[in-house]
Structure 1
């Protein structure tokens, strides 16, 4: 039987869509109740000859895979046996009318204290594809994370692409020898020298790393010749965007962030932290062994430089004794020595990777994605109710007083900003979602996110990257509890503009509770008069995490149809810790069915003091009103 190559697979994807739309749907299976228990604890793991204490779920790194079917209900019992406060965020799960389960400490809930537990309950209606879960406490998501897979209600046969032989999560991460809570504290203090020591694929460092002559284990993916595999790729790293390649093979990208895309054939996948990509791979190379390599990219100098983190797994062909393949099978046999090897020897074939400082490969990868029209995908909203331009960059605040030395002085702290304001939590011990729901005085501390940056300048001027007189004029910033209120059902257009102040990093911007239509991207400064004409209003990709390119911009739209208090933040952990964050508050709609219901009865509570007595009265009054309405 002749094997398909990747372009043929791409054509088959289109044919599968036509077939799907022209046939009657198979009766759906009944929704199920999926239940998991997550025990968060610490354990010692040894890599590179060093034992490190890490915080994990159920003793696993990555953590357990949650597999559900669209429409299922999910209950995850989190038992916190660690010494840290914990929350779990279900990254990309929209949590429709259930913001209480979004898992952001002091935004949507009080954290789960050590030796306490809490059960997250939510539905996964209206979504299918690859998402993931992770801790939203300090930097602990570096080891507290795992895949969250939502399959179609009508089974794998209803995928808008050929049914794969197997589906495999591929989780790209990092290995840290430092305590991750200390890393977060360092970021909060503007200390940016902490870094991981290795990259990982499915928790393994790979044989690019060795200690005292012994190489690290690498993840091994066994494949059968001619079979098609669906790789569900997740970037769970704290620090870097990664390029992923498999020597001798191509990918057909079919989904991103649990939204189907028009099939796109490429030899490289680019993923920022937070992003997911589903890609088909056909085992159509000569049987042997091939490296799967993940390489971290970074901005070139004069940006600060870190080591070139890379890791590799191995794709190994099983013996194929079918007619016509026996000779190939004999030539690639592993033999008694366990060598195996690629077509020309025992050493796996390695792919040619992009340069570490090549950020254009990422720009083109993200720009080549378009949506596959699907019954679940609404049209792009044509009317826009609110427009915002948000600059993303670095700045500094004084440690004491309003005047200080900057440009790296110990008198100032480097912070990350949105429209030149760095986010900090209000001092209230009531989470913002509860304060919003019960209309307490804690909401008075919020500062409105401006529509525009306070100062217009050449945002992408590379001369602003190094410390100096030109950069120093733009460095001073402020801190505040940034928030923006939106009426229910509004269409919001955001332009994220990257800046070059002190660094020129890309920014993966993640919006909780909503997906975003990615209308356009560009390099340099956004120009509304010029760039609106470039908007894709027909089939833009739909993402929950949007990659804002290095010293460039991205324009998105989303509809505020999910009431609650939602986090919007950069998914580089150092940018998040340093304040590149805002809170989007979506008001209730006009009916009970479009309004946020009350919190669960077993919701975690925080400690309260006498100064919060007035807020407690408001909360109890609102609870009484809710009970009365429900009783009627």
Structure 2
């Protein structure tokens, strides 16, 4: 684009903390996994990438320099980006990508948030290796609302592919077929001892008995929800998506791509006579293939060296994880999440609703579009993903830029449907016509609109859990259930007192979830499935929060002058 309207420097919001400056150099690097060297895209020659550490109220600036052949962007997943949408990161939504040899400075202030989030690439499938933790500490002098842990460790899950994921997704978009699956999962970049030729590539966590540790769990996997458990140990969940929750104990954590969960691990003296596997494997509900393997690390107790050295080999104990499609466990686990709803950490659930939406999320078909008309979907069609039967088409001009410059004509339309185009038994037999439409459509929300959104899974090609992520806002999870949502019955059971507050929620396989939020952040914001294969195939849309009011809080500042 020429000139990006009348560009001026972005004026950041006021902040009470300090400024923390980072630099991300994006380069190719050879990494050995599963006895195979592979050239991958890395940040600062690290895999996973560097940790961003800040406190609530701090300003963060990150200069990203692109030294690779791909266009790149970075998304700061879960950061509210209050009036700083230019720093959000999704390609062609809030910015054009950073091209080879270019740089861009992301500048944002962390307002009213503390906990664990993460950053990742947000263009094509590059986030398969480009990700890292964001740790937001409370303001100085402010304690956690749970026992202070002895130590804290980030545990970030990912996927390892022997193949080139950019070639895989490009081929998928050309043919409409199902893409290949990953070759392994990883914990902190390491597959672990359960894969052949990977014993040395194992994450080890050494702990002392009688201590409480906090594990900051992050699911950065490309396409898979994961179960996680530690043999013979229970975990206490204390935070989800950087929001404190009422603590609850569990032996297994379910975490979708895009979600973060902080858990407390209490170590005991009686456990010091063994090694314990920390294992993660997929929760998979869809009709397609998936990587049905298990990644693992080792929890090892560190004891004072005895006077006489022991040569006894410690037994290695394994946890018992749910079966891969255990939807009952998933539903029960997700229902355990409740906000603290205390005077210090209130749950500000909108009690009135200005706009109600009903979005169906699922798979469908498109006519074959490749030149030789050989597609891999049913009857020579292309598989697609959609919301309310609209498969999102990515523009070549950033939506936020078009919105700010009042140049949306030809870039996007504002007629995204508030309801599906026709009613059917969403979780039963599919309708006779399962072809999806396509377009670059957004929902327009006046500033300070309170929104209630019901997300309904469909079984058009097959029922499947969909982790939906909303940029720019946190939302409250009012309720979830199996089958078709009943607007006359189900709202009576909504939790309006202490519902979980999140930025990513799993739409249950063959079920629904209801969320509510206040549209109080001006800009254009992305909502999409965090299974990257579904995002690439169209399970996404935009929310245009109109920022044309006179108050400063309603106005989006102009973009930075160095915008790509």
Global fold match (TM > 0.5): yes
Shift of 1:447: 4.9
Pair 1:365 & 2:333 matched: yes
Q: Determine which of 386, 389, 411 is the counterpart of 1:417.
A: 386
Aligned ranges 1:573-612 → 2 under 5 Å: 573-588=532-547, 589-604=549-564
Shift of 1:215: 2.9
Q: Which residue of 2 aligns with 1:173?
A: 158
Query: Measured at CA, do residues 430 and 286 of structure 1 come closer, stay the same or move farther in structure 2, by a change above 3 Å?
Result: closer
Aligned ranges 1:154-169 → 2 under 5 Å: 154-155=140-141, 158-169=143-154
- State the alpha-carbon separation in 2 of the partners of residues 542 and 30 from structure 1: 24
Shift of 1:320: 4.9
Q: Determine which of 453, 456, 463 is the counterpart of 1:504.
A: 463
Whether contact under 8 Å (1:225, 1:320) holds in the other structure is no
Shift of 1:291: 0.6
Shift of 1:297: 1.6
Pair 1:182 & 2:150 matched: no
Q: Determine which of 351, 360, 372 is the counterpart of 2:319.
A: 351
Pair 1:63 & 2:32 matched: no
Shift of 1:408: 2.4
Shift of 1:154: 2.7
Pair 1:100 & 2:86 matched: yes
Pair 1:564 & 2:523 matched: yes
The RMSD of aligned alpha carbons is: 2.1
Shift of 1:590: 3.3
- State the alpha-carbon separation in 1 of the partners of residues 17 and 162 from structure 2: 43
Q: Determine which of 301, 304, 320 is the counterpart of 2:288.
A: 304
Q: Determine which of 437, 442, 459 is the counterpart of 1:478.
A: 437
Residue deviations 1:477-529 (CA, integer Å, cap 9, x gap): 11111210000000000000001111211000000000010000001110011
TM-score normalised by L of structure 2: 0.92
Query: Secondary structure of the equivalent of 1:184?
Result: helix
Aligned ranges 1:319-338 → 2 under 5 Å: 319-320=303-304, 335=310
Aligned ranges 1:233-252 → 2 under 5 Å: 233-252=217-236
Pair 1:224 & 2:208 matched: yes
Q: Which residue of 2 aligns with 1:386?
A: 355
Query: Measured at CA, do residues 521 and 406 of structure 1 come closer, stay the same or move farther in structure 2, by a change above 3 Å?
Result: farther
- Judge which range, 33-42 or 429-438, deviates more: 429-438
Query: Secondary structure of the equivalent of 1:448?
Result: coil
Q: Which residue of 1 aligns with 2:7?
A: none
- Judge which range, 240-249 or 441-450, deviates more: 441-450
Query: Measured at CA, do residues 63 and 379 of structure 1 come closer, stay the same or move farther in structure 2, by a change above 3 Å?
Result: same
- Judge which range, 552-561 or 440-449, deviates more: 440-449
Whether contact under 8 Å (1:205, 1:311) holds in the other structure is yes
Query: Measured at CA, do residues 443 and 520 of structure 1 come closer, stay the same or move farther in structure 2, by a change above 3 Å?
Result: farther
Q: Which residue of 1 aligns with 2:300?
A: 316
- State the alpha-carbon separation in 2 of the partners of residues 298 and 400 from structure 1: 29
TM-score normalised by L of structure 1: 0.83
- State the alpha-carbon separation in 2 of the partners of residues 441 and 379 from structure 1: 33
Larger Rg: 1
- State the alpha-carbon separation in 1 of the partners of residues 425 and 57 from structure 2: 48
Query: Measured at CA, do residues 39 and 377 of structure 1 come closer, stay the same or move farther in structure 2, by a change above 3 Å?
Result: farther
Pair 1:546 & 2:505 matched: yes
Pair 1:130 & 2:116 matched: yes
Q: Which residue of 2 aligns with 1:264?
A: 248
Query: Measured at CA, do residues 269 and 334 of structure 1 come closer, stay the same or move farther in structure 2, by a change above 3 Å?
Result: farther
Q: Which structure: greater helix fraction? A: 1
Q: Which structure: greater strand fraction? A: 2
Q: Determine which of 40, 44, 49 is the counterpart of 1:54.
A: 40
Residue deviations 1:218-270 (CA, integer Å, cap 9, x gap): 10000000110000000000111100000111111000000000001111100
Pair 1:459 & 2:426 matched: yes
Q: Which residue of 2 aligns with 1:15?
A: none
Query: Measured at CA, do residues 334 and 453 of structure 1 come closer, stay the same or move farther in structure 2, by a change above 3 Å?
Result: farther
Query: Measured at CA, do residues 217 and 196 of structure 1 come closer, stay the same or move farther in structure 2, by a change above 3 Å?
Result: same
- State the alpha-carbon separation in 1 of the partners of residues 475 and 541 from structure 2: 16
Shift of 1:384: 0.2
- State the alpha-carbon separation in 2 of the partners of residues 356 and 195 from structure 1: 15
Query: Measured at CA, do residues 30 and 387 of structure 1 come closer, stay the same or move farther in structure 2, by a change above 3 Å?
Result: closer
Whether contact under 8 Å (1:170, 1:234) holds in the other structure is yes
Shift of 1:378: 4.6
Shift of 1:603: 1.5
Structure with higher RCO (Cα < 8 A, 6+ apart): 2
Shift of 1:570: 0.3
Q: Which residue of 2 aligns with 1:201?
A: 187
- State the alpha-carbon separation in 2 of the partners of residues 408 and 550 from structure 1: 22
Q: Which residue of 2 aligns with 1:468?
A: none
Shift of 1:457: 1.2
- State the alpha-carbon separation in 1 of the partners of residues 503 and 346 from structure 2: 14
* Paired residue total: 543
Query: Secondary structure of the equivalent of 1:61?
Result: coil
Aligned ranges 1:393-542 → 2 under 5 Å: 393-400=362-369, 408-409=377-378, 411-426=380-395, 429-442=396-409, 445-461=412-428, 463-464=429-430, 473-542=432-501
Q: Which residue of 2 aligns with 1:326?
A: none
- Judge which range, 369-378 or 67-76, deviates more: 369-378
- State the alpha-carbon separation in 2 of the partners of residues 93 and 286 from structure 1: 38
- State the alpha-carbon separation in 2 of the partners of residues 602 and 582 from structure 1: 27
Shift of 1:601: 1.9
- State the alpha-carbon separation in 1 of the partners of residues 237 and 535 from structure 2: 29
- Judge which range, 67-76 or 589-598, deviates more: 589-598
- State the alpha-carbon separation in 2 of the partners of residues 201 and 354 from structure 1: 19
Instruction: Give structure 2 stretches of 5+ with no counterpart.
Output: 1-14
